[in-house]
Chains A and B, each alone.
Chain A
Amino acid sequence: KAGVTQTPRYLIKTRGQQVTLSCSPISGHRSVSWYQQTPGQGLQFLFEYFSETQRNKGNFPGRFSGRQFSNSRSEMNVSTLELGDSALYLCASSFKSGGSADTQYFGPGTRLTVL
């Protein structure tokens, strides 16, 4: 089985631009979660989607948004980029949702640099 894939792996943008990151979960997985990883703040939960519905959201501004498609693939969008948005964005998929402690499988991440 193929693992979680994220595209692109690296991205460079300038302040004020917007960006869309993509995540393809493991086949059969219906839950996709997104995390931001920075040296200063560590790993922070952004949001989780399950069957095309956002189930939970972390403490991020509205500039961060996401969606999930019927094939479980997910995208996250960041509008009006700020320097502080530079981070590794990780996507994780699992079969179940709802606090089941189902194992999350992480992708390699997208490294976003904002200049």
Chain B
Amino acid sequence: AQSVTQLGSHVSVSEGALVLLRCNYSSSVPPYLFWYVQYPNQGLQLLLKYTTGATLVKGINGFEAEFKKSETSFHLTKPSAHMSDAAEYFCAALSGGYQKVTFGTGTKLQVIP
């Protein structure tokens, strides 16, 4: 079965610093990969997704992620953190047909002024 691992349940960065949130998936067949953001008391919002093609994917709010098949990773980055980036981030994978998405356990990002 597909699994998604997010390293670090909590990550703290200073405002203006690089944001790096890690995600690894387990699958011999590369799945479709997603990053979502969730603000308190809200649903999930899609930041970006990888399906096929270019391995560097750009998303909204200045985020991007790179698909590395050899490392089975899909880490999320942003060059400069803003206070508004404080939220919980979820990595997810879709494989095996239909919309059965497997989510990671989430990483809460704290941005320190």
Contact = CB atoms under 8 A, between A and B. Distances in A.
**Interface hub of B41, B51, B101, B103 (most chain A Cβ within 10 A):** B101
B99 A97 contact: yes
A101 B44 contact: no
Nearest to B51: A101
A56 interface: yes
Interface in B34-80: 36, 41-46, 49, 51
B98 A98 contact: yes
B24 to A, nearest CB: 16
Interface string A82-115: 0000000010101001110111111111000000
A11 interface: no
Contacts of A98: 97-98
A101 to B, nearest CB: 4
A68 B36 CA distance: 25
B90 interface: yes
Interface string B75-110: 000000000000000101011111111111110000
Interface residues of A, number: 27
A99 B103 contact: no
A90 B41 CA distance: 11
A8 interface: no
Given A42-B106, A43-B90, A99 B99 contact: yes
Contacts of A33: 99, 101
B46 A56 contact: no
Contacts of B96: 99
Interface of B: 32, 36, 41-46, 49, 51, 90, 92, 94-106
Interface of A: 4, 31, 33, 35, 42-45, 48, 55-56, 58, 90, 92, 94, 97-99, 101-109
Given A92-B44, A94-B99, A97-B98, 8 more contacts: A42-B105, A44-B103, A55-B98, A90-B43, A92-B43, A102-B99, A104-B46, A108-B43
11 contacts: A4-B43, A43-B103, A45-B102, A48-B98, A56-B100, A94-B99, A97-B98, A98-B97, A101-B51, A105-B46, A106-B43
